[in-house]
Amino acid sequence: MAAKKDDFARQQSLLNKELKEGTFHRVYLVCGDQAYLRLQNRDRLRAALLGDGDEMNVSSYSGMDVTAREVIDQAETLPFFADRRVILLENSVFFSKKASVESDALAAYIPEIPESAALVFVEEAPDKRKKLYKAIQKNGFVLNCEDLTPQMLGRWTAGLFKKAGLAIDGPTLNRFLETVGEDMMNIVSESEKLIGYCMGRESVTAEDIAAVCSPQLRDRVFDMIGAVSRRQKDRALSIYMDLIALRTPSQVILTLLQREYSRLLQVKELQEERKSEAEIAAKIGLSPWIVKKNYLPVTRSQDAGRLARALQLCLQADQDYKSGRIDAGVAAEMTIIRLCG
């Protein structure tokens, strides 16, 4: 995980240099878990590639309603009094499982993109096995927007408060991130609430965070995992129903369970290697306070075998609902019940 974050920092630096110097590739893929970074880099690329060109030189597509032929035709159309035409594709059909023919057709065109065009793909989780991904990687630029390192995230978050004229010390900053999580979009939203609450003051306190900030979804998922580890089936299902009532999709809950059990198994294995808390945090790429608060209480009461079985149950449920064999809600409930068993 830490290596991936280092890769992101290097790639971001290269992209920043490219945008500053105006030496552009003809195709870009901006992807990864951090929506804030994806959207920020999408907007920066769009503005830099368009330059002084008119908005009529931008073609934007979102979702499934586009074909490879349409994209190619747009790329072959000369821009209107500008250096290039920009084609922006977000969460497009080309990275879905349903459009392999369309995706392959566009992949074959990638090396032929004219100098007068630039394609920008924005995807949360593109399939790296697809020919299109490999074509972009070979002929263009891929920026994978992974989570920042704890140090980078801390500096960035502190900067949000500094711009608003508010000081926040280290322990209070840790409390804020522990409460709201590592998603940068959520950090921006929660920091705006906190800044408004502290208006007219000089600093932020832990009491302010408790009064204003909403606990992140991951905390509720860990409450569920804690109930599961104690085999409290009714409690675990009650938390699940609370999340559903808050309009959290069942598939999101399944994905989070799968991710967290994978991390828990990693933490357990590192504990068995006698790694310190700081070493464990660095190895899995999470903040030490999050590892201590969420992960260690579970791994101290669970052996590696049980965590591995729990992960396997989550993976099987994910496969079952994605293949259409079972509804996501039923898959999530059955998984929770089985985990408690």
Domain coordinates of the chain in residue numbers? 2-144, 150-212, 217-340
Phi-psi region of 61 (alpha: psi -120 to 50; beta: other; left: phi over 0): beta
How far CA 174 is from CA of 150, 182, 264, in Å, comes to: 10, 11, 21
CB 142 within 8 A of CB 152: no
Domain 150-212 grouped into CATH 1.10.3720.10? no
How far CA 230 is from CA of 61, 153, 224, in Å, comes to: 48, 33, 10
Strands 117-123 and 85-90: parallel
CB 117 within 8 A of CB 71: no
pLDDT, one tens digit per residue, over 54-77 is: 788 899 888 767 889 999 999 999
What gap in Å lies between CA 281 and CA 279, rounded to an integer? 5
Q: What is the pLDDT of residue 192?
A: 92
Q: Which CATH architecture has domain 217-340?
A: Up-down Bundle (1.20)
**pTM score of the predicted model:** 0.64
Q: Which of 128, 92, 102 is nearest to 4 (CA)?
A: 128
Across the chain, which distance is largest between two alpha carbons, in Å?
67
What gap in Å lies between CA 335 and CA 340, rounded to an integer? 9
211: tokens are 């009064």
- CA 269 vs. chain centroid, Å, equals 25
pLDDT, one tens digit per residue, over 253-294 is: 888 888 889 989 999 999 999 888 888 887 887 777 778 878
The residue type at 296: L
Q: What is the pLDDT of residue 1?
A: 44
What gap in Å lies between CA 260 and CA 256, rounded to an integer? 6
239: tokens are 């938390």
Q: What is the pLDDT of residue 220?
A: 77
Residue 233 neighbours by CB under 8 Å, 6+ apart: 227, 336, 337, 340
Q: What is the pLDDT of residue 3?
A: 45
Domain 2-144 grouped into CATH 3.40.50.1820? no
Q: What is the pLDDT of residue 340?
A: 87
* DSSP H or E run through 228: helix 217-229
Cα angle vertex 17, ends 142, 113, to 5°? Answer: 45
Tell me the β-bridge partners of 58.
86
Low-confidence ranges of the chain (pLDDT < 50): 1-3
How far CA 238 is from CA of 65, 224, 229, 243, 260, in Å, comes to: 39, 9, 15, 9, 19
Q: Which of 82, 142, 86 is nearest to 113 (CA)?
A: 86
| CA torsion through residues 5, 10, 14, 20, sign | positive
Tell me the β-bridge partners of 67.
none
Residue given tokens 């349903």 in the structure block? 98
Burial class (CB in 10 A: 0-12, 13-18, 19+), 120: buried
Side-by-side strand order, sheet with 117-123: 58-62, 85-90, 117-123, 27-31, 141-144
**How many helices, marked H, and strands, marked E, lie in the chain?**
17, 5
Q: How many CB atoms lie within 10 A of CB 213?
A: 19
Burial class (CB in 10 A: 0-12, 13-18, 19+), 293: middle
